[in-house]
Amino acid sequence: MAKITVNDLDVRGKRVFVRVDFNVPLEEKDGRMVITDETRIRETLPTLNLLISKGAKVILASHLGRPDGQVVPSMSLAPVAVRLGELLNKPVRFVPACVGPEVASAVGAMQSGDVVLLENVRFHAGEEANDPAFGEQLAAVVDVYVNDAFGTAHRAHASTEGVARIVAKRGGVAASGLLIARELQFLGDELEQPARPFVVILGGAKVSDKIKVIDRLIEKADAILIGGAMAYTFKLAQGAKVGLSLVEKDKTDIALKALAKAKERGIKFLLPVDNIVATPVDSGKKDKKGRPKMDLTQPRVNVGDNIPDTEEGVDIGPATVKAYAEVLAGAKTVLWNGPMGIFEDPRFAEGTFAVARAVAEATQKHGSKSIIGGGDSVKAINKAKLGNQVTFMSTGGGASLEFLEGKVLPGVAALKDK
Ligand code: AMP
């Protein structure tokens, strides 16, 4: 599992191509594109500073948005070069292309420790198609390949996989950056032999999205706590009434299988014992897809298994929070993926925030190792301002989920084993 990292490399004077994830949110202000959240840029700094201090010529490549192989000026990486220069405290030259003569000439002019940022690789259709010819063009200026973009490591694209293979074939090294190395450590190694009890919290919209993770973790965990809309598919499978809750009626069979497997293994598999429910009322407005938009009105606590026909489950209730917090207090390893309710609405965020507090407390007071598996749970932890009180927060959404399913990520597989 362990991969060669930038720590292991001698890169002095070498042209090091680093695939980063600079897919930052941008907003237009006064005719300029402005970065509204620079977390992803900051996360690459340890790897970049290390390479600079080792005397590499650092060539950065990333995607931004979904330009689908077209040049879309609002998705240019130019604003990122400016901000990165400020954060690194040194000039970052922006090249308005990612392949071709402009790149060759900019790289040819580089000195050890210099940094250039190439234009959005997804302006070329060859990127997402992992076109070998486009990969060769990218690789034309590369001695060493480094991948530090965990968020796209589950995609076999030219800059995440193709170039790595080409460089390796030529006898060069393809290594992981510090960020990917940490992801592999926490989502991989730390969960192989977790300190016990190992408690897994799973939430979010759909059982079907996470059934492979559930299935795999039932084999490893001591307790699984279920929240979010996916809990209602389990409840329905057990014969309860779920009212108007978001539910996957055709997935009750996989829910029952998971419950049976948990029973067979003798692990705790907890479902909510109460819920916050609300009454959906047509707001008269339409959503982006033209469907009627519902207002969720009259929130209240609903105790027990059954939700009335006119109401919808939107969060876990206080008794569930208490039960889950008790299990978490005894945990030595915690893995969390997916919110407990519609946490984007402050009225239905308490269950998710309370679980976030319980995870932070387990980490701070009981020395538990807490791993937050990306996406909405990371957003929730940050919203609760508890990001610095957990052990690790993954930078991948889809990538962390696929990794937790036990899938081989193409962007990781292409890197050299230790
Ligand atoms: P996922 O991407 O599967 O982790 O799902 C995250 C989404 O699930 C968030 O946008 C939540 O609003 C949504 N969600 C969580 N609980 C519920 C619920 N009870 N009803 C509807 N949506 C929910």
From the CA of 339, give the closest atom in ligand 1: 15
Separation of CA 105 and ligand 1 centre (Å): 48
Positions in the chain short of pLDDT 70? 1
Q: Sketch out the chain's domains with CATH numbers.
A: 6-182 (3.40.50.1260), 193-405 (3.40.50.1260)
Separation of CA 355 and ligand 1 centre (Å): 15
Residue 315 CB partners (closer than 8 Å, separation 6+): 275, 276, 340, 341, 342, 343, 348, 349, 350, 351, 352
- What stretch of H or E contains 262? helix 252-265
How many residues belong to the chain?
A: 418
Q: Which of 206, 216, 257, 357 is catalytic?
A: 206
Straight-line distance from the first to the last Cα atom of the chain, in angstroms, rounded to the nearest whole number: 8
- Report the pLDDT value the prediction gives residue 41, as an integer from 0 to 100: 95
Instruction: With beta carbons less than 8 A apart as the criterion, state whether 363 and 390 touch.
Output: yes
From the CA of 245, give the closest atom in ligand 1: 20
The residue nearest atom 12 of ligand 1, judged by CA position, is: 342
Residues with CB under 6 A from ligand 1: 204-206, 209, 228-229, 246, 313-314, 338-339, 341-342, 344, 375-376
Q: Which of 220, 257, 398, 416 is catalytic?
A: 398
**375 tagged catalytic:** yes
Q: Which of 127, 155, 160 is nearest to 145 (CA)?
A: 160
Q: Which of 135, 162, 313, 375 is catalytic?
A: 375
**206 tagged catalytic:** yes
- Report the pLDDT value the prediction gives residue 1, as an integer from 0 to 100: 64
- Report the pLDDT value the prediction gives residue 209, as an integer from 0 to 100: 87
